[in-house]
Structure 1
Amino acid sequence: MAKSHGENGPRAPAAGGSLSGTRESLAPGPDAAAADELSSLGSDSEANGFAERRIDKFGFIVGSQGAEGALEEVPLEVLRQRESKWLDMLNNWDKWMAKKHKKIRLRCQKGIPPSLRGRAWQYLSGGKVKLQQNPGKFDQAFWCLVQICEKYLPGYYSEKLEAIQLDGEILFSLLQKVSPVAHKHLSQQKIDPLLYMTEWFMCAFSRTLPWSSVLRVWDMFFCEGVKIIFRVGLVLLKHALGSPEKLKACQGQYETIERLRSLSPKIMQEAFLVQEVVELPVTERQIEREHLIQLRRWQDTRGELQCHSPPRLHGAKAILEAEPGPWPTLQPSPSIRLPPDAPLPGSKGKYKPPKQVQKEQRKQAKASGQWDKPPTPSQAKVAAAAGDACPPRDVHPKDPVYQDPQDSAPQDSAYHCSQESLTSQESEDTYL
């Protein structure tokens, strides 16, 4: 599969051990010419007799006319550190999502390592849960697409594209706060949002931005939801039409639309775009508030929506809360267990630790004159283990510590224990 962007081919591997985005840069020793030779071996271009081609850092074949310019360089050491952190997150996903979701969001903004991006998207989107709920039905990519259509962008691909039209009005209203100059110009030219934002939103910018920028946008989109799509659209509009100087070449409707269809490579560049998107102050609450406003206007002018789609979920955390994974929740496990058929006796009265029970029983025995000698070590050990409710076999029935067999489980049961020890299930502690 060939991927072409721009006019110039990718640059040679950078010095200093940085990740240049090619497989050849990982090979030790060869110079640029040798790396070029390695890139052509076994490729389709060699078999078909075409010019030599290279492979970008995403695994796409890039020809002489097919690079998108300079890519953001990530040092190999930094990349390996990020991979290690992401592996830890993916292996303990529930814990991270529950307690460290902000950390996940920050790491998505920095960019998911290419080697783990596919797996991370499955976890973020909930596609992995869908796959586990439907074993043997379709593959991972399919369920990821299902999540996009049903959770992130519900109603986008329905008849009449009502959800897209509604989001176009939301985008245009938010633009008034982000860039009043661009908003005024589009209003004067009477350019409907559908003329420029339909492909942006329906394809999540995959047909608009350079591929490196697309992946970074999708990293954030899967984590934070549709607000990333709104932010990207607002950034592009702001930097394309947001100043009088930029509007000098956009005097009419045709020129304005052409400007938005042929955006400057600078504002689509990976590092610049991501930084602008992260810093743009547009929140989920603002989007939902504007959604309600535009929905009421729609109902007043056009009637009820014909598309009844479920409410969209804003990112990975909301999706996980709506559809938790099938993993069992850890429960406290008591160390004292009863046989399956044994009834669980109820606990009455205030619980007393075994040592305190022993002292009171000894005092009662001394007071009644029936105390002869302290118990043997073996007897004390048995009494301590059973809460002094399981007397040793040689204890006489007249002894005060003797318990009527009718009021307890059989004496020869290996699982016999006192009511006091069973209350440990309520306090989540076990006394032995």
Structure 2
Amino acid sequence: MTGMQEAMEKKYRAANGSSAAGGRAKDRVERVDPYGFERSEDFDYESYEELMSEYLIVLTQRSIKWSKLLKGKSKVQKNVKLKRYVRKGIPNEHRALIWMTASGAQDQLEKNPGYYQSLLGAKHDPKLVDTICTDLNRTFPDNLQFRKTSSPCLQKALFNVLVANGHHNPTVGYCQGMNFIAGYLLIITKDEEKSFWLMDALLSRILPDYYSPAMLGLKTDQEVLGELVKIKIPGVWQTMVDHNVMWTLVVSRWFICLYIDVLPVETVLRIWDCLFYEGSKILFRVALTLINQNQALIQQAQSMPDVCQTFKQIAQGPFVDECHTFMQKIFTEPRSLSRATLTKLRATCRSRIIAEES
């Protein structure tokens, strides 16, 4: 057992000792998850113990298979087998490698030696710096690694990645949501330059126009989700129409934060494994699965506030906590979701939005 599995196993064992020392260890260690996030006051340790006793077995099996597949390689080629492995989850010790390779970020890093440092060394735009600084303390206040008292503190690395990205892509600069994405990347890669190039992969290729001033890509994909729901889950679509609920009202955070602070950390990372490998259609698969799984509950809503509250509810609970089962569901429940279908729907929705805003 290695990396994340070992860390999780230690924390898990420490948290569930029967002795007084075990109880003290639980108070000291288990209140923080393997990624540095503090557990909430109402955290269900009993359910966590049950979940982890099963998931640790899965993690260990996957880690052994990945180690055999990689055999110490620093790069991998995309193929059917690797795609299958990614969908079943990347062990944390291999995540940075696979994300970098699959997304094209590694190629960009190697083609541009010294570029990241040159961005940090250039004169900074004061307005960009002020905007980023305002958000630094708001980034994961419940994570120990982002507190000024921590050593090392990831706030400085977060600032660097966001400033470099703002100068690399001046038409976008910085907008809210980027801080959380960069923060997650730093937690996993522990490397500023890799996090910068992964951000570039997301913003430039995987999610174009999500974070541009007009956010046309984001608006388009929210409307595309609505069209997919209309086709695949018509009862929910009718509920939205009946209560005059716009999709942006209930799913904008899902898309702009890539499910950060919406779903549990481990589930988000499993989604990102597929996002970096397969692209943005994964975001639709997750959304459709959440909606499909809870369609009866959504259809019971009696008003717009009811609908909004229900959409918050459906992102919580055992279904999303059990990330391995959840990820299996996202590839079966929404059924076929071809790239051609998404391309066609995006073109239609994009044209409609441009016409409405002009």
TM-score, L = length of structure 1: 0.55
Map 1:336-375 → 2, pairs under 5 A: none
Q: 1:80 to 1:103 in 2, by over 3 A?
A: same
User: Are 2:214 and 1:232 equivalent residues in the alignment?
Assistant: no
| Alpha-carbon contact 1:23-1:55 (below 8 Å) kept | no
d(CA) in 2 for partners of 1:261, 1:183: 17
Per the TM alignment, residue 25 of structure 1 is displaced from its structure 2 partner at its CA by 6.1
Deviations 1:47-68 (A, max 9, x none): xxxx523277734354473747
User: Are 2:299 and 1:247 equivalent residues in the alignment?
Assistant: yes
Q: 1:226 to 1:233 in 2, by over 3 A?
A: same
User: Are 2:64 and 1:81 equivalent residues in the alignment?
Assistant: yes
User: Are 2:341 and 1:286 equivalent residues in the alignment?
Assistant: yes
Q: 1:133 to 1:299 in 2, by over 3 A?
A: same
Per the TM alignment, residue 198 of structure 1 is displaced from its structure 2 partner at its CA by 1.1
Q: 1:61 to 1:202 in 2, by over 3 A?
A: closer
d(CA) in 1 for partners of 2:86, 2:257: 20
Deviations 1:352-406 (A, max 9, x none): xxxxxxxxxxxxxxxxxxxxxxxxxxxxxxxxxxxxxxxxxxxxxxxxxxxxxxx
Structure 2 alignment gaps of length 5 or more: 118-192
Per the TM alignment, residue 38 of structure 1 is displaced from its structure 2 partner at its CA by 9.5
Per the TM alignment, residue 135 of structure 1 is displaced from its structure 2 partner at its CA by 1.9
Residue 187 of structure 1 aligns to a residue whose secondary structure is: helix
Residue 253 of structure 2 aligns to a residue whose secondary structure is: helix
d(CA) in 2 for partners of 1:219, 1:188: 36
d(CA) in 1 for partners of 2:74, 2:87: 20
d(CA) in 2 for partners of 1:143, 1:55: 32
Map 1:382-421 → 2, pairs under 5 A: none
Deviations 1:30-84 (A, max 9, x none): 96549848958xxxxxxxxxx5232777343544737474345132651442231
User: Are 2:253 and 1:202 equivalent residues in the alignment?
Assistant: no
Q: What's 2:167 paired with?
A: none
- How many residue pairs match? The answer is 266
| Alpha-carbon contact 1:191-1:253 (below 8 Å) kept | yes
Deviations 1:79-118 (A, max 9, x none): 442231342484452xx32xxx111111011100111112
Q: What's 2:177 paired with?
A: none
Per the TM alignment, residue 218 of structure 1 is displaced from its structure 2 partner at its CA by 0.6
| Alpha-carbon contact 2:103-2:198 (below 8 Å) kept | yes
d(CA) in 2 for partners of 1:66, 1:132: 46
Residue 159 of structure 1 aligns to a residue whose secondary structure is: coil
Q: What's 1:21 paired with?
A: 8
Map 1:121-270 → 2, pairs under 5 A: 121-136=99-114, 137-138=116-117, 139-240=193-294, 242-243=295-296, 246-248=298-300, 250-263=301-314, 264-269=316-321, 270=323
Q: What's 1:53 paired with?
A: 29
d(CA) in 2 for partners of 1:59, 1:36: 21
d(CA) in 2 for partners of 1:145, 1:299: 27
Deviations 1:306-339 (A, max 9, x none): xxxxxxxxxxxxxxxxxxxxxxxxxxxxxxxxxx
The residue identity in structure 2 corresponding to 1:251 is Q
Q: What's 1:271 paired with?
A: 324
Tell me: higher relative CO, structure 1 or 2? Use CA pairs within 8 A at least 6 residues apart. 2
d(CA) in 2 for partners of 1:258, 1:61: 25
d(CA) in 1 for partners of 2:337, 2:263: 21
d(CA) in 2 for partners of 1:20, 1:220: 23
Deviations 1:169-189 (A, max 9, x none): 111001112211111101111
Q: 1:162 to 1:175 in 2, by over 3 A?
A: same
| Alpha-carbon contact 1:24-1:38 (below 8 Å) kept | no
d(CA) in 2 for partners of 1:115, 1:186: 42
Structure 1 alignment gaps of length 5 or more: 1-17, 41-50, 304-432
The residue identity in structure 1 corresponding to 2:319 is I
d(CA) in 1 for partners of 2:72, 2:283: 25
| Alpha-carbon contact 2:33-2:39 (below 8 Å) kept | no
| Alpha-carbon contact 1:39-1:55 (below 8 Å) kept | no
| Alpha-carbon contact 1:236-1:267 (below 8 Å) kept | no
Q: Which segments of structure 1 move beyond 6 Å, counting only runs of 4 or more?
A: none
Q: 1:118 to 1:252 in 2, by over 3 A?
A: same
| Alpha-carbon contact 1:23-1:57 (below 8 Å) kept | no
Per the TM alignment, residue 24 of structure 1 is displaced from its structure 2 partner at its CA by 4.9
d(CA) in 1 for partners of 2:106, 2:18: 41
What is the RMSD of the two structures over their aligned residues, measured on CA atoms?
3.0
Identity of aligned residues (%): 22
Per the TM alignment, residue 258 of structure 1 is displaced from its structure 2 partner at its CA by 0.9
